[in-house]
Amino acid sequence: METKDIKHDEFVINVGPQHPSTHGVLRLELWLDGEDIIDSKPHLGYIHRGIEKMSEALGYKQFIYLTSRMDYLSAHISNQACSLAIEKGLQIEAPARAQVIRVLMAELTRLASHQLWWGALGLDLGAVSPFFYAFREREMILEIFEETCGSRLTMNYITPGGVVNDLHPDFVKKVKKLIEQLKGNLHEYYQLLTGNVILQARTRGVGKLTAEDAVSLGCTGPVARASGVKCDVRKLHPYDGYDKVEFEEVLNDKGDNFARYWLRIEEMKQSIYIIEQLIDNIPEGSYREKLKGVVKLPAGEYYQRVETARGELGVYIVSDGKKEPYRVRFRTPNFSNLNALRPMLKGAKIGDMVSMMATLDLIIPDIDR
């Protein structure tokens, strides 16, 4: 580790690895001059599980369940990315019904993830009640997942060739009820947090990230879009029929904390809009193309990128023709989004650190893998 000359009135503090505001085990080293942050340095590795290496020992169908443990709030979308990469290698495409189910599940996941973020942002800024309001709708989404997929958080539902189970008979009814309730309740979100004077004071103009920084640091997802960078993989490289649905890529050019906050709320509305378009038009037919018991990809390299709730997730698989992958690499969104913390923290006050971390929406297991 590099050492830095510390002047007589500067000091170094550690935030974490078990700091309550970090939602995970991230250690931040902060150089401070009084209340001003001079520099910061994240230390990773506290929750490294070696998912990439573990995947090399498991078959193609088997390692997908591990990706749910990376970004646990976008478990469906991570599974989808792996399934799409394997389908690319097998040169098959999921049936139309399965594709629509995948998109529906992905958008529900995005809604659930943003709701948890919204609640946790309130917690970080000292407001406890938003957490409960956010969990009210999130609980409904998790119940829908539980009914169809069998689990609430780490579903392992999307598999190469389609999805594991058909939709639950109550699925359409429950999703419609959810959308109705969510639309009716969004004003509570504004009433409770958006207009709040404390949130406004702690987010407006704080934690500015320029578009140049966002691009050069590799930020994706809402963090980059709040700085005005067009980077939605669903628009740029459509997968699973995202080109057939209509939605808007929300952009904001301010790049501060409030822009990221506003953008995620708007993204929730877009997710609702996508679900509304698809929920009445789920095609009939097979939901799964049965693959062989042991899947073998032809030798080669396969890459698939998807848009998770936090940004771009890339899955890179190298196959040498055996039943296990030769190498699996995940390009995770949170790792690059974490880089944005350093330019944001430079010159900021230490009290603003928590709100910056909260609006970056970091998932630490996704950074370490």
Partner 1 sequence: MNSIYQYFRAIWYGFSSLWKGMMLTGHYLVHPKKILTEQYPENRDTLYIPERFQGEVVLPHDENNEHLCTGCTICEMNCPNGSIKIITRQVETPEGKKKKELDEWVYHLGLCTFCGQCIDACPQDAIKMSNAFEHSVYDRKLLTKVLNQPGSKLKSAKK
Smallest distance from partner 1 to CB 148, Å: 7
Smallest distance from partner 1 to CB 323, Å: 10
* DSSP annotation string for 103-122: HHHHHHHHHHHHHHHHHHHH
What does the alpha-carbon distance between residue 349 and residue 108 come to, in Å, rounded to a whole number?
36
* H or E element in which residue 273 lies: helix 257-279
DSSP-derived secondary structure letter, 251: -
Do the strands 311-319 and 300-308 form a parallel or antiparallel pair, or are they unpaired? antiparallel
Smallest distance from partner 1 to CB 49, Å: 13
Q: Which residues contact 329 (CB under 8 A, 6 or more apart)?
A: 52, 315, 316
CB-nearer residue toward partner 1: 20 or 293: 293
CB-nearer residue toward partner 1: 139 or 248: 139
Smallest distance from partner 1 to CB 156, Å: 4
Smallest distance from partner 1 to CB 342, Å: 32
Among 343, 239, 328, residue whose Cα is nearest residue 52: 328
CB-nearer residue toward partner 1: 31 or 157: 157
What does the alpha-carbon distance between residue 337 and residue 284 come to, in Å, rounded to a whole number?
39
Q: Which two tokens stand for residue 15?
A: 């935030």
CB-nearer residue toward partner 1: 330 or 335: 330
Q: Which two tokens stand for residue 106?
A: 């992905």
Residue ranges in contact with partner 1 by CB under 8 A: 58-59, 61-63, 65-66, 129, 136, 139, 143, 146-151, 154, 156, 159, 164-165, 168, 188, 191-193, 195-198, 293
What does the alpha-carbon distance between residue 212 and residue 214 come to, in Å, rounded to a whole number?
5
Smallest distance from partner 1 to CB 312, Å: 25
Smallest distance from partner 1 to CB 87, Å: 17
Q: Which residues contact 178 (CB under 8 A, 6 or more apart)?
A: 137, 140, 141, 144
What does the alpha-carbon distance between residue 346 and residue 80 come to, in Å, rounded to a whole number?
37
CB-nearer residue toward partner 1: 164 or 211: 164
CB-nearer residue toward partner 1: 14 or 181: 181
CB-nearer residue toward partner 1: 140 or 209: 140
